[in-house]
Amino acid sequence: SLSTFLKSHNQLSRNIHETCSQFGAAHRWGPGENDTGMNRLALTDADKQVRNWFVKEARALGCEVEVDEMGNIWAIRDGVSDRRPTKDGKRLPPVMMGSHLDTQPRGGRYDGVLGVMAGLEALRALKEQNVKTWRPVGVVCWTNEEGARFPVSMVSSGVWAGEIPLERAHSLKEVSGEGKTMKEELERIGYLGDKKCSFEEMPMAAHFELHIEQGPILEAKGKKVGVVRGSQAYKWFTIEVVGKEAHTGTTPYAQRADALMVANSMIRYARYKGEVQGVLVSVGVYQVFPGSVNTIPGRVKFSLDIRSPSDHTLVSFERRLRRKFDVIAERPGFSGLPCSVTWQEDTNSPAQGFDERCCKAVKESALSVLGAETGDLEQALGLVKYQMVSGAGHDSVNTAKRCPTSMIFVPSKGGLSHHPEEFTSEEDCVRGAQVLLESVLRFDRE
Ligand code: GLV
Ligand code: MN
Ligand code: MN
Ligand code: MN
């Protein structure tokens, strides 16, 4: 049966470890580092290569492939219902399996890639076993999920869901400050498609996403599959502190407006308050201008990532930070002149719940796959975690705003992700892919 098909199938592992890992492989970072690291930022040449490979592979599986104006790639396999056109000539919306192919600048092999490759193998299983689904079924690769190059996370599913205006997304500049926009880079690599990026133009009946957990819970609890019920809230900002450049050897403390010292006070405060209030606070980008040993920094830009399961907690935390940062800029707490501070909101992703019917499909699929594997339903019941809330953002958070959505998590070794040594066993990957395929079939049958 299909549920056991993928098990004997090592194409998934080959795609992850031999094919995809070649596009953007980041070897030899330093002595002692292994070579499983990936550097495939969105819309780079490496991203273009993996996309081209994906498109070829999906076409070979008999899919129709379309690209929208955000570069999202839609590979869709006909369903039986396609042979019976509706009165208005439209096809039924497809059930999609989606994730992303871009990585962190020092990422691993699984984040995003697993969900896409599992989708491909699910399509291969359907084709090889000549299974007809009622609805069309497909795989969607979302552009720049990470937000690591163009600093808005899940930006393309955000445009699709109507949350982010297309113009804003297209004009996003890369975080390195080199100044290329998303639209320019989409054009350059040949993925500025002609389909409108919207739910109306590219509808879906449902979205299922297989992803590594990226955290420690499944492993610690000895569970094999997680049913993801939703995600926590998070917001990203770019914060700019402006002081005044001056000579380090001649300017007394009292006459300095040192943007770096002020920015550091803000960050220390945010981290401290975050810990007290249960909000995760992180700064990952920090830029100092003009960046000279003997010039007092006149300007600092840093990213601020804040997360909480509660929208209310997050909003009140942000309000508190805004007030306190103004105070710090005005009166830094050490001798010196005031600086100014401005906030730009980059990402706003409120807590999101997933669809009950999709979660049920995932849960039943997980039990059936694990039940078949262990031959013991009692044991299978103990291997599933039924209530997971994703700590990370995913494109599913955006699709959930427009169509029934759920996610499947598989364990991450040591809970590690956004690291070259991110690892999920082959067995866990294949099991996740089986659960993904079964979830799609269950949803389609209902
Ligand atoms: C989105 O990918 C995130 O940062 O969680
Ligand atoms: Mn991811
Ligand atoms: Mn990621
Ligand atoms: Mn993510």
Helices 426-445 and 113-128, packing angle to 10 deg: 60
Do 333 and 370 have their domain in common?
A: no
Name the nearest CA neighbour of 386 among 357, 417, 409, 355: 409
Distance CA 360, CA 442 (A): 9
- pLDDT of 220 above 70: yes
Q: Which atom of ligand 1 is nearest to the CA of 305?
A: 4
Shared domain check, 227 and 286: no
Q: Verify that 392 and 432 share a domain, yes or no.
A: yes
Q: What is the pLDDT, as a whole number, of residue 8?
A: 62
Average pLDDT value for residue range 103-116: 97
Displacement of CA 218 from its chain's centroid (Å): 19
Q: 84: pLDDT confidence band, cut at 50, 70 and 90?
A: confident
Instruction: Indicate the number of domains in the chain.
Output: 2
Checking if the pLDDT of 187 tops 60, the result is yes
Q: Are residues 243 and 387 in the same domain?
A: no
CATH at 326: 3.30.70.360
Q: Which atom of ligand 1 is nearest to the CA of 392?
A: 5
Tell me the CA–centroid distance for residue 40 and ligand 2, in Å.
Answer: 13
pLDDT band per the 50, 70, 90 thresholds, residue 30: low
> Any alpha helices (H) in 346-405, and if so which ranges?
356-374, 377-382, 395-399
Is pLDDT above 90 for 10? no
Distance 348 CA to ligand 4 centre (A): 14
| 104 and 220 fall within a common domain | yes
Q: Are residues 271 and 394 in the same domain?
A: no
Residue 29, pLDDT > 80, answer no
138 shares a domain with 11: yes
Provide the pLDDT for residue 90: 83
Report which of residues 419 and 35 the model is more confident about. 419
Residues enclosing ligand 1, CB less than 6 A?
A: 145-146, 153, 392-393
**Distance (Å) from CA 255 to ligand 1 centroid:** 41
**Are 202 and 191 part of one and the same domain?**
yes
Provide the mean pLDDT of the chain. 95
According to DSSP, the residues that pair with 308 across neighbouring strands are 233
Structural domain range at position 33: 2-231+353-445
Q: What is the CATH number of the domain that holds 32?
A: 3.40.630.10
**Residue 9 scores a pLDDT above 90:** no
The answer to which of 7-11, 144-148, 417-421 has the lowest mean pLDDT is 7-11
Q: Give the mean pLDDT of 362-384.
A: 96
338 and 404 assigned to the same domain = no
Question: Which pLDDT value is given to residue 130?
Answer: 92
Which of 349, 376, 393 is at the close of a domain?
349
Using DSSP's 3-state secondary structure scheme, residue 340 falls into strand
* 250-286: pLDDT as tens digits: 999 999 999 999 999 999 999 999 999 999 999 999 9
Residues 359 and 211 in one domain: yes
Degrees (nearest 5) of the Cα angle 421, 423, 424?
A: 175
Q: In the listed set 349, 382, 413, which residue is the last one of a domain according to the structure?
A: 349
pLDDT for 28 beyond 60:
no
Q: Which of 111, 146, 303, 417 to mutate to test the pocket of ligand 1 (most atoms within 8 A of CB)?
A: 146
The last residue of a domain, from among 349, 381, 405: 349
Residues 329 and 395 placed together within one structural domain of the fold: no
Do 129 and 271 have their domain in common? no
- pLDDT for 7 equals 59
**Interatomic CA distance for residues 261 and 21, integer angstroms:** 41
Predicted confidence (pLDDT) at residue 32 exceeds the cutoff of 60: no
